[in-house]
Amino acid sequence: MNPGTNRTVVRTCPLCEATCGLELQISDGKVVKVRGDAKDVFSGGYICPKGTAIAAIHEDPDRLRRPLIKRNGHHVEVEWDEAFAEIEQRLLPILEEHGRNSVGAYLGNPNVHNMAGAFYVRPVLKALGTRNIFSASSVDQMPKHVSSGLLFGSPGAIPVPDLDRTDFLLMLGANPLESNGSLCTAPDFPGRLKAIRQRGGRIIVIDPRRTRTARLADEHFFVRPGTDAMLLVAMIHVLFEENLVNLGAVADHVNGLEEVRVAVQPFSPERVAERCGVASATLRRLARELAEAERGVVYGRIGIHTVGFGTLASWATDVLNILAGKLDRPGGAMFPLAAGTRAGKTAGGRGFKTGRWRSRVRDLPEVMGEFPVATLADEMEEPGEGQVRAFITIGGNPALSTPDSERLEAALEKLEFMVSVDIYCNETTRHADVILPPPSLLERGHYDTSFANLAVRNVSNYSPPVFAAEGPSESDILARLALVLGRQGAKADPANLDRLLVRGLVEGHVANPASPLHGREVDDVLAQVGDRPGPEALLDVMLRMGPYGDGFDDTEQGLSLQRLEANPHGIDLGALEPQIPNVLSTPSARIELVADSLITELDRLDRVLEEAEPEGLLLIGRRHLRSNNSWMHNIKPLVAGRNRCTLQMHPDDAAKRRVEAGGVVEISSRVGRIQAPVEINADLMPGVVSLPHGWGHGQAGSRLGVAAAHEGVNSNRLTDGLPLDPLSGNAVLNGIPVEVVASPGS
């Protein structure tokens, strides 16, 4: 890569789930222009303001270039060897003395946007051996994993709305005009929504706020936060009551139909309507319209997952699709078939279990090998065997992203030792004793291993690094961390782990009688992979052994990393195709509509409906197109303009509390109290207030110059770590009871 030349490169944007193709013009080693890649097979030139800001993230002077060690309370730059030696000297004795569970780990959202996260986090966790694993999943999509695990046997089997072919989209708790979509990878989500309406289809949005997405829809209904499970279950009730159940293509693959009918019996629209704030006639009509739609689908996202009945709401979404005959059918809810998955999966499997072990303090079940991050502070504070005394964060900012965060920050400060793999010294990593900064997102290869499994078209694209990295790659950093934890020493060569991982993957195929590689010489196969960096080598094997791969057969035209490199705008593998029954991993090889745990949740729903409705205001979140959770507020073009960290409130609620436009309010919940400027806004449902998350910068010891000037307040000082979605352990981040008063002196 000659820095002196002018060149144009294309690459996939790793900043959100939409996976847009970007075109970067580079002159004298600097990105001089970013625009959408018009030739990208999936995004066709679409881009959002964050994609344009990618160069500013790369160039951000506050982005760390060298490791930091905290000495006498201040972070100082050190060499890489010194940083790993420090970890060896300080972390290993804690493990020796207090056992493996004394070190906790938290994995943040960027790990799913990054090959290092996909392939090298697991070896770190394995070397650590701890059960105290936490991640952003339990403040996000864990309910979806659990409902998919129960219904389809695998937490990764997630059906997505077939946006490009549907004519009826019922959308709850999602705001893709700001978020660009989630658990539904669809670059230019806004354009795809407009196309539904242009072809005569209809969009209905259910959200406690009249969002930009709601404005684009044909109809919008307010819903009381946290009540979507009732609303969806009532719609299932209508399908049975009005004889609208029609399983369609999946009729021969479903168990438990009669049990669902009985279980939803108590939940008529008339019973739930007042509680949800949606008229019973509307619920009946929407159920009928869904059933009658030739190509229709229900899609729910974070607003229905980060609530106390998150798993039940997620389950009910899929059950509605199944009972209305919309699952596994074009225009309905379909399963992607990603290039990186193993070819030849057939129906059946071991199914899905949670609670294989439980958390020490609150006795909460493990879900997908982790505990709810809402109990992280408990595990750090409570003395005794297994107390979390040391902590590793990888690409995460739990100090801003997780509930009751003031308490978590206090617990972080008391740790004996903390390591963070992160590009910034921010609200979380300022507590770390050692910060290991990976190179920028333009200095690494990129492939979306996660989002290919959630995409509305099957596509495959690889982006090589744009610039050579100054320091070690993120996979090398994680490999060295794994080697230190595995007692291989602070100077162990990360390439050793690369070789082990790639060889292990190939050996697995060679040993598998069902694999086309069965019986081949491992070294011959490895020779075909060639001399690539670890993540690229692993990716190559996965692509070639995947459903579109060449299977390491020279005579085949299939997919390989080399082929992707020759097609920089990506390769289109076509529209989604039916995957049932092969996608199912339940022991019965069928869809299991009911599980005991879900019946227990329906019983709880029944009891909640009998209780008096809680009074007072409920707090929900709010995303903005120019933000990304907590970590892009240090980029000037993304924070320019008016303060976005405001509390939005309906005029009637404001009037009742004598809150005036332009003033400052004090917002308090069971766990915290913060102040924020207020915006009076009739787009909110009365009784609901909204504050975005990810703000609250300017903390002592952090190094975020721009963010400190746009600090805002941390909404997770109000969210409560106690109430959880019981089946998934997901935190409740929407529908928080709060009080709001005009701030004295404002």
Ligand X SMILES: Nc1nc2c(c(=O)[nH]1)N[C@H]1C(S)=C(S)[C@@H](COP(=O)(O)OP(=O)(O)OC[C@H]3O[C@@H](n4cnc5c(=O)[nH]c(N)nc54)[C@H](O)[C@@H]3O)O[C@H]1N2
Residue ranges in contact with ligand SF4 by CB under 6 A: 13, 15-16, 18-20, 47-48, 50-51, 180, 187
> Of the two residues 361 and 625, which places its CB atom closer to ligand X in the complex?
625
Q: Tell me, what amino acid is at 352?
A: F
Residue 139 found at the interface with ligand X (CB under 6 A) = yes
DSSP state of 238: H
Q: How far is the CB of 674 from Mo ion (least distance, A)?
A: 22
Residue 620 found at the interface with ligand X (CB under 6 A) = yes
Of residues 543-572, those binding ligand X (CB under 6 A): none
Question: Coil, strand or helix: which one is 47?
Answer: coil
Between 219 and 248, how does the x/- string for binding to ligand X read (CB under 6 A)?
Answer: ----x-xx-x--------------------
Q: How far is the CB of 29 from ligand SF4 (least distance, A)?
A: 23
Query: Residue 103's binding partner, choosing from ligand SF4, ligand X, Mo ion, none, with beta-carbon cut-off 5 to 8 A by kind?
Result: none
How many Å is the Cα radius of gyration of the chain?
Answer: 25
Contact 146/729 with Cβ under 8 angstroms? no
Q: Measure the CA–CA gap between 5 and 482, rounded to whole angstroms.
A: 38
Looking at 87-95, 174-182, 448-456, 493-501, which segment touches ligand X (CB under 6 A)?
174-182
- Among residues 387, 461, 463, 716, which is the contact residue for ligand X, using CB under 6 A? 716
Q: Measure the CA–CA gap between 481 and 488, rounded to whole angstroms.
A: 10
DSSP state of 626: T
Closest CA to 586 of 326, 320, 325, 250: 250
Of residues 468-487, those binding ligand X (CB under 6 A): 474
Does the N-terminal peptide bond of residue 439 adopt cis geometry, omega within 30 degrees of 0?
no
Q: Measure the CA–CA gap between 561 and 538, rounded to whole angstroms.
A: 10
User: Of how many residues is the chain composed?
Assistant: 746
Residue 557: other Cβ atoms inside 10 A: 9
> Of the two residues 16 and 685, which places its CB atom closer to ligand SF4 in the complex?
16
Q: Measure the CA–CA gap between 728 and 686, rounded to whole angstroms.
A: 30
Q: How far is the CB of 436 from ligand X (least distance, A)?
A: 8
> Of the two residues 115 and 291, which places its CB atom closer to ligand SF4 in the complex?
115
Query: Residue 301's binding partner, choosing from ligand SF4, Mo ion, ligand X, none, with beta-carbon cut-off 5 to 8 A by kind?
Result: ligand X
Q: Measure the CA–CA gap between 662 and 353, rounded to whole angstroms.
A: 51
Number of residues that bind ligand X (CB under 6 A): 64
Residue 310 found at the interface with ligand X (CB under 6 A) = no
DSSP state of 100: G
Q: How far is the CB of 27 from ligand X (least distance, A)?
A: 25
Q: Measure the CA–CA gap between 123 and 100, rounded to whole angstroms.
A: 15
Nearest position to Mo ion, beta carbon:
140
Q: Measure the CA–CA gap between 596 and 189, rounded to whole angstroms.
A: 36
Spatial neighbors of 566 by CB under 8 A, at least 6 apart, are none
Q: Measure the CA–CA gap between 82 and 77, rounded to whole angstroms.
A: 10
- Among residues 22, 423, 605, 738, which is the contact residue for ligand X, using CB under 6 A? 423
Q: How far is the CB of 174 from Mo ion (least distance, A)?
A: 12
Of residues 177-196, those binding ligand X (CB under 6 A): 178-180, 182
Query: Residue 155's binding partner, choosing from ligand X, ligand SF4, Mo ion, none, with beta-carbon cut-off 5 to 8 A by kind?
Result: none
Residue 450 found at the interface with ligand X (CB under 6 A) = no
Q: Per the structure block, which two tokens stand in for 680?
A: 């009076």
Q: How far is the CB of 562 from ligand X (least distance, A)?
A: 25
Query: Residue 304's binding partner, choosing from Mo ion, ligand SF4, ligand X, none, with beta-carbon cut-off 5 to 8 A by kind?
Result: ligand X
Query: Residue 558's binding partner, choosing from Mo ion, ligand SF4, ligand X, none, with beta-carbon cut-off 5 to 8 A by kind?
Result: none
Q: Per the structure block, which two tokens stand in for 631?
A: 């970590």
> Of the two residues 301 and 563, which places its CB atom closer to ligand X in the complex?
301
Residue 629 found at the interface with ligand X (CB under 6 A) = yes
Which DSSP string do the residues of 329-370 spell out, in sequence order? Answer: STTSEE----TTSPTT--S--------SSB-TTT-PBPBTTB
Q: Tell me, what amino acid is at 225?
A: P
Closest CA to 236 of 118, 158, 326, 162: 326
Q: Measure the CA–CA gap between 94 and 92, rounded to whole angstroms.
A: 5
- Among residues 693, 697, 703, 717, which is the contact residue for ligand X, using CB under 6 A? 693
- Among residues 51, 331, 340, 396, which is the contact residue for ligand X, using CB under 6 A? 396
Nearest position to ligand X, beta carbon:
303
Q: How far is the CB of 12 from ligand SF4 (least distance, A)?
A: 8
Closest CA to 626 of 171, 65, 56, 10: 56
What does the binding site for ligand X look like in residue numbers (CB under 6 A)?
A: 16-17, 108-110, 114, 136, 139-140, 172-176, 178-180, 182, 206-209, 211, 223, 225-226, 228, 301-304, 307, 394-398, 401, 421-424, 426, 438, 441, 474, 620-621, 623-625, 627-631, 693-694, 715-716, 719, 733-735
